[in-house]
Amino acid sequence: MAIYLNDVSRTFGEYLLIPGLTTKQCIPANVSLCTPLVKFRGDERQSAIHLNIPVVSAIMQSVSGPELAIELARNGGISFIFGSQTIENQVEMVKKVKKFKAGFVISDSNLTPNHTLGDVLNLVESTGHSTIGVTDDGTSNGKLLGIVASRDYRLEKDPAERLVKDFMTPFSELIVGKLGITLKEANQLIWENKLNSLPIIDDEQRLQYFVFRKDYDSHKENPYELSGTDKKLLVGAGINTRDYKERVPALVEAGADVLCIDSSDGYSEWQYETLKWIKETYGDNVPVGAGNVVDEEGFVYLADAGADFIKVGIGGGSICITREQKGIGRGQATALIDVARARDNYHRKKDIYIPICSDGGLVHDYHMVLALAMGADFLMMGRYFARFDESPTKKLKIGNSFVKEYWGEGSNRAKNWQRYDTGGMEGLKFEEGVDSYVPYAGKMKDNLDVTLGKIKATMCSCGSITIQDLQRFSKITLVSSTSIVEGGAHDVILKE
C-alpha cells in the first residue's frame, strides 16, 4: 500500500499575505532584494555568489539565450544558458555574455594595415564590434599601429578595396593607457579626452586591452548589475546527466560562473553521480545547482551529494504537462513549504545553508512575494521572460495581437530528451511540454522594473525590507474560492 500524505497539494493562488506593521523604514527605496545563490556556512555573506534581485531565467531554448542573459545580469539577476544544444554552441553563448562587458576587454576584432575596408565591414558584421585594433600581425596582442572605428570611413564614398592603413587613426594620434593602469584611471582618461575607447598597451607597444566608455555608462545606468571582480557579467549554464564529463570542462573554460543540472526529476542516482563527479573534479570552485524536487527526501538526497542550490517544483510550469502525462508532481506552494522546512532543518543540523529556487507556478507578480515568504531564496521563471524582446524566439502577429513563441523543453520541438532521462538509450517517447505562444510584452527592463516595484511595495506592507525578514516575520493565510473572487473587480460594470 502506498504512503499517503495528509496535506493538500496547494498552489500560490490559494494564499494571501497578511499585512504587518509598516514602519517608517519600510519604503521601497530601503528594500534590499539581495539573496544568496549558492550554499554557505555561517553568515549568508559567506555565499560565493549573491543575486541583487531574486530572479533567474529558466534553462529553456525559448528563454535563456545570450541576449536575455546579458540584460538580466545588467539588472541584477542571472540566466542559465540552455543546455539542449551542442556543447560548442552553448560555449559560444556563454562567451558572448562574458565578453559583453568587462573593465579591460581583450580585443577579438583585429586586422593588419594591409587589410581592406571590405575586411573591416565583414569583421563588423560577424562580431558586432565597431572598434577594430590594427596590429602588425592582426592579433589581439600584436604591436598596435592604429585603430579603425566607424568614424574613419564612409560607406557611400570609400571603395571596398581601400587599404586599412589609408584610413585608420594611426598610433601617433592615439591616446593610450599603459599596462598597470587602474580601471578608474582609464575611465578618467576617457572622460578627460572625450574618447569612446582607450587602448591599453605594454612597454613594447603591444595591444593588451581596450576600455570602453559604454561600459562605464552601462554600469551607471544599471546600479544592480551582477558582475564579478573582473567586471564581467555573471552567467550560468544548464547541463545534463549524460555528457557532463565533456560539457562541464568546456563551460568552465568558457567562463560560466555557475552550473545547474536541468532535469524534470532531480531525485535520481544520475544527478547524484553528476554532482559527485563535479565536486571531486573541481571542489567548490565550480558551483552547481540540482533538482527538481518536491519533498524533504529529495532535498536531503541532493544536499548530501553536494548541490550548491536546489530547485523545487515538478509540473507547475505553464507549458509543463508532466502531471497530466505521468501523474507525478505536487502543488508548488506545498512543495516549497515542505522543502524550505527541510532546508532549515539541514542548516540547523549541519551548519550548511543551501538556497532553494522556486521553479514554476508563478502566475501573478504577488505570487513571487508569496514564494519568497514561503522560503524560496530566489525564483526561476520561463514564461515571464519569454515575452520580452531579449528572448531568442520570434515575435509574431496573430490576429490583432503580437505574441512570442514559447515551448517546453519536454516538447518534441525542443527534443530535449536528456531532461527526462530514465536510463537506457531511448529518446523522448511522449511529450511532457507543449508548444505555445505568450503575449508580447516589449523590453525586459521596463517590465522587470514594474515587477520589482510591486515586490518591494508588498514587502513594505508586510513590514519587511529584506527577503530574510520577509521569511521570518510574514504571515500567510489560506483563502476560499469566494474570497478569490472578492479580491478582483466585482459587482461593477467595467468601462471598456
Closest to 369 measured CA to CA, from 455, 478, 448? 455
DSSP β-ladder status, 378-381 and 55-57 = parallel
Helix (H, G, I), strand (E, B) or coil at 393: coil
Cell of 163: 587599404
Ranges assigned E (strand) in 179-222? 197-201, 207-212
Closest to 380 measured CA to CA, from 403, 396, 402, 356? 356
Annotate 451-462 with DSSP letters as a single string.
HHHHHHHHHHHT
**Contact criterion met (CB below 8 Å) for 143 and 193:** no
- Identify the residue whose cell numbers are 478582483: 488
Cell of 97: 555574455
Closest to 147 measured CA to CA, from 125, 159, 165? 165
Cell of 419: 531532461
Annotate 410-476 with DSSP letters as a single string.
TSTTTT-GGGG--SSS----S-SB-EEEEE--B-HHHHHHHHHHHHHHHHHHTT-SBHHHHHHH-EE
Phi, psi (5° rounding) for residue 55?
Answer: -135, 130
**Contact criterion met (CB below 8 Å) for 189 and 175:** yes
Active site residues: 320, 419
Closest to 197 measured CA to CA, from 213, 217, 219? 213
Phi, psi (5° rounding) for residue 384?
Answer: -55, -45
User: Any residues with CB less than 8 A from the CB of 81 and at least 6 apart, and which?
Assistant: 59, 64, 65, 66, 69, 90, 93, 94, 97, 235, 236, 237, 238, 256
Cell of 37: 545563490
Does a cis peptide bond (omega within 30 degrees of 0) precede residue 75? no
Distance CA 356, CA 416 (A): 24
In sign, the C-alpha dihedral spanning 448, 449, 454, 459 is: positive
End-to-end CA distance of the chain: give it in Å, rounded.
56
